[in-house]
Structure 1
Amino acid sequence: MTLNTYVRRIMRAAPLLNVPVTALANSRAFGRIVGRNVAIITYTGRRSGRTISTPVSYRGRGDELQVAANMPEAKSWWRNFVGDGAPLSVRLNGIERSGHAVAQRDPSGRVTVHVRLQTP
């Protein structure tokens, strides 16, 4: 099996994994535990105009978050934030916050989405 085939299979399974992760992040019982590393981002697709929500792993504190787009060539969500970036909302520990995200690719091809949250 080639790497591309492997990546395609994983990406087809992503929606199946996103649903339970989102449910755990939003649950009262497990939300605090999952919420330490997982946030739900909601944004408007730049081409489709649809509102999209997806769980992401993040790190950061306060009003600044960094989201790594693992396997960026196989994913498209981060492309909504290239250039000047775009607005989004982030659900952190059950609290919805607005912010602005900008995606940056480093010389080795890794993509990080930098999020600056508005002060509540």
Structure 2
Amino acid sequence: MVSIKRGIDKLKGYVGHIKIDEQGKIIESRNVENPAKLAEVINFNLKRGNEEARELGFNKMNGFAIFGEKESLVFMKGLGVVVDSQKVDWQDVFTYYTFNVAFCATGVVLTVLSLILFYIAIFTNFMYFLA
């Protein structure tokens, strides 16, 4: 069984989730009333969304959100999250999907490198031409 990222159930408004593979088979589900029906809806939307993405010149669709009055479904990277539409913090949901430690580490390394180069350029004669 493939485990999900830590902390998904800590999202504000979290109701349940479903994890599916590329073929649309359910790997894991929690607190979802009808996981087979939800997997069918996800697969249909992925298929149709990928067709529309190709028509628009994109390779594929990365994710989607279906908004409802009481509950909403957000799907990306094989994980569908059902959230309460009234309580959810959408910024937290999308940050959960897009946050990557590698991006943060790369940003820190590039920032430190740029500060070092700035120091060398300003306070030494080694890269004086950059200042």
Please give the range of the TM-score, normalised by the shorter of the 2 chains.
Answer: under 0.3
Greater helix fraction, Structure 1 or Structure 2: 2
Q: Provide the TM-score with structure 2 as the length reference.
A: 0.25
Which structure has the larger Rg?
Answer: 2
Greater strand fraction, Structure 1 or Structure 2: 1
